[in-house]
Structure 1
Amino acid sequence: MRSVLTFLALTVAATAATAQVGPPTSQRTCGANRQLVMREGAVVLDTSPSTYARFVRSGAQCLVDQFPEPAWVPSSNNPQCFIGYRCKDGSDDF
């Protein structure tokens, strides 16, 4: 029983560590930000001191009722860096 609890504690600690967000997009180059999104497929990034957003490589990472919308973030070498897409909710209005 004790080994199971130890295993669960380590699993929770490892999961919490992988969920941490790295440095803000403004501290990385545009290319580095874009490569991160392309490599991971979907990633949450710090876009300002108090703003976080989820960016995706393509619409394949969005939910069924969402669509990909182009996204730009500030980077160290480009104030309007195209990073990929953000998933936006579809409209029910016709």
Structure 2
Amino acid sequence: MKKLATALSVLAISAIASTTFASAAQHVDSHDLTGAQVKQLVQEQGSVLLDTGPNVFDRYVANSSYCSLGEKAERAYVPTADSNSEFVGYTCQADSNS
């Protein structure tokens, strides 16, 4: 009985972890949304993976608090449904001063 409980616990943890990682890795195509919609998504989520072209994506953040230590937030522009280059937030880049 103890082995069954352990096996079920491991299975449950695996299911939760895979669901968490899968949802964390969802991409949004910037071309499918207007600039205002992309900006709102980034602000609400804090951090979003945006597809900006075939096999091209990056992480866009609302502000520098979403960047790691040694990174700085740099303004980011992406193509959207209504613009070729819309400011939507920031990307985290290595800080050369660190």
In the alignment, what sits opposite 1:53? 58
Question: How big is the shift at 1:22?
Answer: 3.5
Larger Rg: 2
Q: Which protein is richer in helix relative to its size? A: 2
The TM-score, its normalising length taken from structure 1, stands at 0.86
Q: Tell me how far 1:92 sits from its aligned partner.
A: 4.3
Residues 29-62 of structure 1 show CA distances to partners (whole Å, capped at 9, x for unaligned) of 1111111100011111111111110111111111
Provide the identity percentage. Answer: 27
Query: What is the match of residue 9 of structure 2?
Result: 4
Which residue of 45, 65, 90 maps to 1:85? 90
Instruction: Note if contact 1:21-1:46 (Cα within 8 Å) is conserved in structure 2.
Output: no
In structure 1, the gaps of 5 or more residues are: none
User: Which amino acid letter does the alignment assign opposite residue 89 of structure 1?
Assistant: A
**Normalising to structure 2: TM-score of the pair?**
0.83
- 1:39 paired with 2:37, answer no
CA RMSD of aligned residues (A): 1.8
Contact 2:59–2:91 (CA under 8 A) maintained in structure 1: yes
How many angstroms apart in 1 are the aligned matches of 2:65 and 2:21?
A: 25
Return the structure number with greater strand share.
Answer: 2
